Amino acid sequence: MFENKHSITLLFNANKIYDRRIIAGVGEYLQTSKVDWDLYLEEDFMARLDHLDEWSGDGIIADYDNPEIQAALHKAKVPVVGIGGSYENTEEYPDVPYVATDNYALVQAAFEHLRQKGIQRFAFYGAPVDEHHRWAQQRENAVLEITREQGYDCHVYRGHPVRPETWQYTTKRLADWLRSLPTPIGIIAVTDSRARHLLQVCDHIGMLIPDRMSVIGIDDDELARYLSRVSLSSVRQGCFEMGVQAAKTLHRMLKGHNQPRKPVLIPPECVAERQSTDFKAISDPHVMQAMHYIRQNACRGIKVDQVLDYVGVSRSNLEHRFKEERGHSIHTEIHNEKLGRACKMLENSDEATAHIAKICGYPSLQYMYAVFKKHFDQTPKEYRDAKRDKDEPGFSLKVS
């Protein structure tokens, strides 16, 4: 049997990926528990903050990264659970039950990912100080602490707010900062949005990603993946679990249990690894240029001659350099890039195999089937099913 019905308000911006995942977590708790809640979610709730005290519902789950929301709920007469970022100073936490993304753990995951790639230089692209973005300062503090403890220097740049009227100036200053950095270097961006700025500017100034600069963001925002030619590696926050824990906390409060005394910190889910951190220590500048071109264009059906035209050296010269650095031919590198992309799409998406074949530059679905049978002795569908059943990491190519 369900419990008594309650009216619950969710104060989040449903246009943001972070907020949507939290809302999904709240919904998951509703589906898997015995609560009977009517959820009220209004996109333009900020216009009604001054009248929240007039609301006659039973509980609220709210975005406490926003100081206006905190102020509006200061005298709330119903149970409130806040959700937001973690803080170094425990005195900064609000005086309500609180579920937080662990900012230190997010940055640490990004740092460890870069270091495992063999990167020895680090930088952080943050955001200007803003009371609405206190989590950005917390992440900056975390990266400075982590790199200092590990014996590394860290180059920090906060940049400027993103506004249409100052976009060109902002882009030029970011380019100046990137040119000033030693390379190769790994850059942690405070969000995927800021990471995308890095990828765009690197493309404009001819900075090779990830050979000279490896970039990782925070959020794993699907939109950022499609707006950059180089796919972005990112730390996926535990937003879904935050929503679950917030709903669970509010449920206990509505049943009359004591409020939790300490904030609940939620670690990141994982690091989604993609092209922007696919760093390999390559010393030959011609091979580095070729690799950059192949990563960006392999799935467009390019041939070896187009790589040669881009680099500007003879085939015999570049083939020799490739064998020295990579251990295989230019053609094999193009082949591996396409096959790797197809494998990741099969593992991580529900796209039809015919659509994947087209996206990855195969002339037909039958051709992609032949490639998979040769390398894995499986059809693409069998490969997808096997990976999902066994949850095996990555793929291993049998090419020479």
pLDDT in tens, 375-392: 889 999 999 988 877 654
- pLDDT of 396: 41
* 200 token code pair: 């765009």
* Residue count of the chain: 400
- pLDDT of 225: 66
| CATH entry, 285-390, from 3.40.50.300, 3.30.365.10, 1.10.357.10, 1.10.10.60 | 1.10.10.60
The mean pLDDT value for 176-198 works out to 95
Domains 103-236+272-277 and 285-390 share a fold: no
Residue 287 reports pLDDT greater than 50: yes
Q: How far is CA 394 from CA 128, 227, 262, 309, 397, in A?
A: 37, 24, 38, 32, 10
| CATH class of this structure's domain 5-101+239-269 | alpha beta
Is the Cβ–Cβ distance between 129 and 193 less than 8 Å? no
Domain boundaries, the chain: 5-101+239-269, 103-236+272-277, 285-390
Q: 40 - beta bridge partners?
A: 9
- pLDDT of 394: 46
* 348 token code pair: 């991580």
Residue 27 CA to residue 249 CA, distance in Å, equals: 14
CATH of domain 103-236+272-277: 3.40.50.2300
Nearest-CA neighbor of 340 among 310, 318, 361?
Answer: 361
Kindly report, residue by residue over 100-144, the tens digit of the pLDDT.
Answer: 999 999 999 999 999 988 898 999 999 999 988 999 999 999 999
Q: What are phi and psi of 61, to 5 degrees?
A: -120, 125
Longest Cα–Cα distance of the chain, Å, equals 77
Q: Rounded mean pLDDT of the chain?
A: 88
Q: How many Å from the N-terminal Cα to the C-terminal Cα in the chain?
A: 62
272 membership: H or E segment, kind and range: strand 270-272
- pLDDT of 395: 43
Looking up tokens 């790589």, which residue turns up?
307
CA geometry: angle at 252 spanning 247 and 254, to 5°? Answer: 95
- pLDDT of 233: 94
Residue 400 reports pLDDT greater than 60: no
Least confidently predicted of 141-145, 329-333, 346-350: 346-350
Kindly report, residue by residue over 145-182, the tens digit of the pLDDT.
Answer: 999 999 999 999 999 988 888 889 999 999 999 999 99
**Whole-number percent of the chain with pLDDT over 70:** 92
Residue 238 reports pLDDT greater than 50: yes
Residue 357 CA to residue 371 CA, distance in Å, equals: 11
How would residue 43 be classed by pLDDT, with cut points 50, 70 and 90? low
